[in-house]
Chain A
Amino acid sequence: MSTNGKIKVATMWLSGCSGCHMSFLDLDERLLELGKAIDLKASPIVDIKFDQIPEVDVGIVEGCVNNNEQEEHLRHLRDRCKILVALGDCAIMGNVPALRNQFPVDAVLQRGFVETESTQIGEIPMDPVMPRLLAKARPLKEIVKVDVSIPGCPPDADTIWYALTELLAGRMPKWDERNLKYD
């Protein structure tokens, strides 16, 4: 809890399409209400580098872990947040980015950078500063401890609102057939 009494929140975007963040913005006028209760300390929409993320109460992560950089970012956030929320199917189960898990990394890179139909002269980037693909795209919970999962691809605004308001009220969201949705 920050000095102004607000809950401190950071969000992070790993291997995902940003649809979950878009869905978060779909909270529309409820964002104003949320703004009274939370302090957004870091997010892809506020341009703060990952190593500047301060200690927060809630960390919300969209996307799965696909490369070593994302793994580092995720561990960093985990160390600085009390509750880690996996937002959306990619963060929870890998989802579409995990489709590549059936193939060896070399084949994936070859396909993506060289064989794509629109590519004329392609090459696989080899610069050592580039993030390195992990052998498999992994859900968050295979890397760090996850406290809350919000399923959906993306979770719709109502689902996100339900989960956040429950957390703000000091409760864990409960999932059943009325609010679960994997698509």
Chain B
Amino acid sequence: MNATQTITLTINGKVCEGRAGQTILEVATANDIYIPTLCWMKDRSPWGGCRMCIVEVAGSPKVVPACATPAVAGSQITTNSPRLHNLRRMTLELLFSERNHICPICPMNKGDCGLQHQAYLHGVDSIRFPYLYPALPMDVSGRYFGLDHNRCILCTRCVRTCDEIEGVHTLDIANRGERNLIVVDMHATFGTSETCTSCGACVAACPTGALFDKAQTYRGKLHTCTVVKTTCPECPVGCGLAVYTRENRIVEVFGDPESPLCAGHLCRKGRYETWAEPRRRITQPMLRHNGELKPVSWDEALAHIRRVRDATPVWESVLLASPRLTNEAGQAIHRVADKLDRVGVWLAPNEGALVEAPEPLADVRRQLTEADAFILLGVQPSRDHGLIASYVRRGVRQRQARLIILNCRRSDLDRYADIAVREVSLERAFWAQVAEVLRDVQRPVLLYGTEAMTPIGVAVLERLLAVFEQKASGEAPALIGLPIGTNSIGLVAAGLEAVEDVGSWLDAKPVRYLHLVLGDDHTLGERWFEEKYRALMLETLDLLVVQASYESPLTAHAHVVLPACTWAEKTGTVTNFEGRTLPLKPVIPVRGQARDDAAIVEAVYA
């Protein structure tokens, strides 16, 4: 049968067109006919478990689930009848009687709950079955989200999302009948799970309050929140975020379904590190006075910096920026570079070669979704680019793609790999093995990261390309470089010097004035002190200016602290690993006296 063949069928007396292979639900939805659903979810395999989408097909005594029944040309379908209404209502009542669904104390109450919504649509004013009131546990051991079995309807949307989207299959269903229970690994908890990546996609998929984000709980109904779409600030993939706010606070962050790469899915960093971490915000300028940081006005802080700068020669003045800054902040820094000896952006080791004028990438989503082999070279997608890791897992688990991991640290991806080697040997036997794994591969994708830029990494890359050249068939691998810093590419393009080794960069010449532009970077503050001598170096400075959104050990050492906007307050752009320029949009008003990084840099060097 031709997949694009058009078929015609009648739904509720209306003649509807669909494509062969579509389900009844898909045809009905495309023709603006509503069929209630609970367990169905876009881009997940149909489950047919909740029985809300049952429809009548003329000539058949049985009702069938529309989500899991192929549409047949010429069939006559009824989606609404007294019989269907009563069956659906009974199903809903059974769901309510089976667990402890106590709407008034549930965080999903007031319109966010699929179960409540369906019960309203079907006029459920009371339940005709005896309540079971089962004694069910809760799992709140996870860092970001909890699971309350009392509110679970076993629709398996979380299970299918975990399996098919994030690709880790942490969740599944244990036991039989009324003892069915969502389990994490083999009766582990979210806190102890070895496979859960804390991506939170299960929570986003849950139609009830069974899976809930701790930081979102009881902070207002989502459907009354303001939703702003912006770009994730956590890594160079640049997923689209849909940020839910209420009374100028972030209530929830989900993936933007229209974002081309992420299509609504996020990793832990985007979904939670953006907003659900407790961090101490800096909201006003501070100046060290008698050894203690004291709040001051912007004018006082800027005047103090000016006084010290006037007494400090330009050749002893240095600015170092976080790779999270926007392109606009980078350009502002570049404009004032003549007032400083050096301006740099702090990259990861070996990241420089990856971000200096890379070729723009096209068609990455297609490459990732169609690849039949992934080769990871010196890159840690599970740690640094969670979305890319989910593509790799999906490829291996759903399409049986080959996976070769070379020069990478240990990660959860190792278990899916055909070959996973931390230190690659150049022996013939090893490369014969690689060639064997890749023999029938047609559409390979080579993901490479910072460790591919070392001399060993380059040698391995050359060997790999040689393997592909000797292959009888198949395309050349799609090369996808993955930097670590969110906007390393954009900031280096703006003219900032790529600094991989901060210690030797600073030691190269005497420095008496150091301006650290951290922005909302929440890791650099700790990274600075990973090497002891950098702490000692701070003692030798005349002035350390730290421009940051959050308190860190670095701000504690600063002479002047300047409050910077977070990603949620900024306007600007970042450049992602494909070379696309992506917008950051203000989601909430600026807190306290914080200012945009570019504006602060302009004010300091005016």
Contacts and interface: CB of A to CB of B under 8 A. Distances in A.
Interface of A: 86, 89, 92-96, 98-99, 101-103, 136, 139, 141-142, 146, 149-151, 153, 174-177, 180-183
Interface string B85-122: 00000000000100010111100011000001101110
B116 A182 contact: yes
Q: Which 4 A-B pairs have the closest CB atoms?
A: A182-B103, A101-B133, A153-B104, A149-B126
B125 A149 contact: yes
A93 B96 contact: yes
Nearest to B128: A141
A146 B133 CA distance: 20
Contacts of A99: 100, 102
A142 B128 CA distance: 9
Given A96-B105, A136-B133, A182-B116, A102 B100 contact: yes
Contacts of B116: 182
B502 to A, nearest CB: 52
Interface string B120-139: 11011111001101111000
Given A180-B119, A183-B110, A89 B133 contact: no
Nearest to B130: A142
A141 B130 CA distance: 9
A74 B392 CA distance: 62
A182 B118 CA distance: 12
Contact of B109 (A94, A98, A150, A183): A183
Interface in B14-49: none
Given A175-B123, A175-B125, 14 more contacts: A89-B103, A92-B125, A93-B126, A95-B104, A98-B131, A102-B133, A102-B134, A149-B125, A149-B126, A153-B103, A176-B123, A180-B120, A182-B103, A183-B104
Nearest to A148: B125
Contact of A95 (B102, B110, B119, B123): B102
6 contacts: A89-B103, A92-B125, A94-B131, A102-B134, A180-B120, A181-B120
B223 to A, nearest CB: 14
B521 to A, nearest CB: 42
Contacts of B131: 93-94, 98, 101, 139, 142
Which of A89, A92, A149, A177 has the most C-beta atoms of chain B within 10 angstroms of its own C-beta?
Answer: A177
Contacts of B103: 89, 153, 182-183
Nearest to A104: B135
Contact of A89 (B104, B120, B121, B130): B104
Contact of B127 (A93, A102, A181): A93
A83 to B, nearest CB: 15
Contacts of B100: 98-99, 101-102
Contact of A141 (B105, B110, B126): B126
A182 B133 contact: no
B551 to A, nearest CB: 34
Nearest to B103: A182
B123 A96 contact: no
A89 B116 CA distance: 14
Nearest to A138: B131
Number of chain B interface residues as a range = 20 to 34
Given A89-B104, A95-B104, A96-B104, A180 B133 contact: no
Nearest to A141: B126
A94 B121 contact: no
Per DSSP, chain B at the interface is: loop
Given A86-B126, A93-B127, A93-B131, A102 B121 contact: no
Contacts of B126: 86, 92-93, 139, 141, 146, 149, 151
Contact of B125 (A95, A142, A151, A153): A151
Nearest to A181: B120
Contacts of B121: 176-177
Given A146-B126, A175-B123, A176-B121, A103 B135 contact: yes
B19 to A, nearest CB: 32
Nearest to A173: B125
Nearest to A136: B133
Contacts of B120: 176-177, 180-181
Most chain A beta carbons < 10 A, residue from B100, B104, B121, B134: B104
Nearest to B109: A183
Interface string B443-481: 000000000000000000000000000000000000000
A139 to B, nearest CB: 7
Contacts of B130: 142
A59 to B, nearest CB: 16
Contacts of B125: 92, 149-151, 175, 180
A103 to B, nearest CB: 7
Nearest to A86: B126
A174 B109 CA distance: 22
Nearest to B134: A102
A129 B121 CA distance: 46
Contacts of A153: 103-104
A182 B123 contact: no
Nearest to A150: B125
A31 to B, nearest CB: 24
Contacts of A136: 133
A96 B102 contact: yes
B148 to A, nearest CB: 12
A92 B120 CA distance: 15
B123 A102 contact: no
A63 B133 CA distance: 17
A174 B223 CA distance: 26
Contact of A182 (B109, B134, B135, B136): B109
A6 B120 CA distance: 33
Nearest to B106: A183
Given A89-B103, A182-B109, A94 B133 contact: yes
B95 to A, nearest CB: 13
A180 B136 contact: no
Nearest to A19: B104
Contacts of B119: 180, 182
Interface in B121-166: 121, 123-127, 130-131, 133-136
